[in-house]
Amino acid sequence: MTSGYDLSGRRDKKAIAGFLALPIVVYCIFCFFPTLVTLIFSLFKWNGISDNIEFVGLQNFINLFTANSTFKTSIVNTLIYQVSIFQLYRLMDSLRLINNLFGLILVYTAWGLPFTVYVMYGFMSSIPVEIQEAAQMDGCSMWGMYSRIIMPLSATVVASSIIFNMVFVWNDLNFPMILVDDPNLKSLSNALLSFRGQYSSQYTLLFAGVVLASIPLVVVFLLLQKKFTAGMMAGSIKG
């Protein structure tokens, strides 16, 4: 009885070992081995085509910070972005605006307003002062000058700002994913993301959703396209 029990126990241990060995080996092949190969190749200088491979040690890592200024800038930008997103979440949570569409509206307004003001100010400041002085001499009020002169002349930059902000808000995925957990408040980009899963994806529904999601942007662009064309034509015949 004892020898039979020991033999059965050894068989169970071998079965468990064999069962665990398979995922461990697969993990080493698909995770550890590529990481090791990447680390090894980072210590060599090779253009990927020729047979000339030179061992340079840590020189590649040093060149990232000395010869490539874009890499240093990207690290700083990434850190600033991550810190700002964390602080933004804490701020919205303290204001009880998580899972709140009004909170998203505030975030998008604060995000897009500086760029819009900068673009419009740059364009409106280039409008000749003589036009405004002539309107004042004709008895035009400030509101009349704004609505009848400044805004019609700024139609192109207004259309550009509308398209820019609409494309950003319509396609944005980060803010709704961070600030909204309620499935009923998810944005269109998050809804399209739900058609992709870890093990399967509904590509037909995803593609249909992408087509429907692009229709409003195309319609807005077609409606405002005349403003762009008129602005280009006016600039080409000026003077």
Q: Helices 101-124 & 69-94, crossing angle to 10 degrees?
A: 130
The answer to whether 46 and 54 are in contact (CB under 8 A) is: yes
176 within domain boundaries? no
Residue span of the structural domain in which 22 resides: 10-66
Residue 172 resides in a domain: no
Q: 34 and 24 in one domain?
A: yes
Q: Is residue 35 part of a domain?
A: yes
Same domain for 77 and 57?
no
Residue 202 lies in a domain: no
Alpha-carbon gap, residue 42 to 34, rounded angstroms:
12
Q: Are residues 85 and 56 in the same domain?
A: no
Let me know if 165 is exposed, middle or buried by CB neighbors in 10 A (0-12, 13-18, 19+).
middle
41 and 17 in one domain? yes
Rounded CA-CA distance 89/128 in Å is 44
Residue 237 has pLDDT above 70, yes or no: no
Q: Establish if 145 belongs to a structural domain.
A: no
Q: pTM to 2 decimals?
A: 0.62
Give pLDDT, residue 235.
40
**CA angle, 93 then 112 then 143, to 5°:** 120
Kindly report the backbone phi and psi dihedral angles of residue 154, in degrees, each rounded to the nearest multiple of 5, phi listed first: -100, 20
Place of tokens 């494309």: 167
Query: Are both 33 and 43 inside the same structural domain?
Result: yes
Query: Within a 10 A sphere around the Cβ of 169, how many other Cβ atoms?
Result: 19
Least reliable range by pLDDT among 67-71, 200-204, 226-230: 226-230
Any domain includes 22: yes
Instruction: Tell me if residue 45 falls in helix, strand or coil.
Output: strand
What is the per-residue pLDDT for 224? 76
Based on the domain organization, do 39 and 82 belong to the same domain? no
Query: What pLDDT, on the 0 to 100 scale, is given for residue 15?
Result: 66
List pLDDT tens digits, range 171-199: 888 888 888 888 888 888 888 887 887 77
Q: Is residue 216 part of a domain?
A: no
Q: Are residues 54 and 15 in the same domain?
A: yes
CA distance 89 to 95: 10
Q: How many structural domains does the chain have?
A: 2
For residue range 107-117, list pLDDT tens digits in order: 999 888 998 88
7, 9, 13, 19: CA torsion to nearest 10: 100
Average of per-residue pLDDT values in the chain = 78
pLDDT in tens, 11-45: 666 666 666 777 777 777 777 777 777 877 778 77
Asked, for residue 162, whether it belongs to a domain, the answer is no
Please name the helix (run of DSSP H) or strand (run of DSSP E) that holds residue 213, with its range, or none: helix 203-236
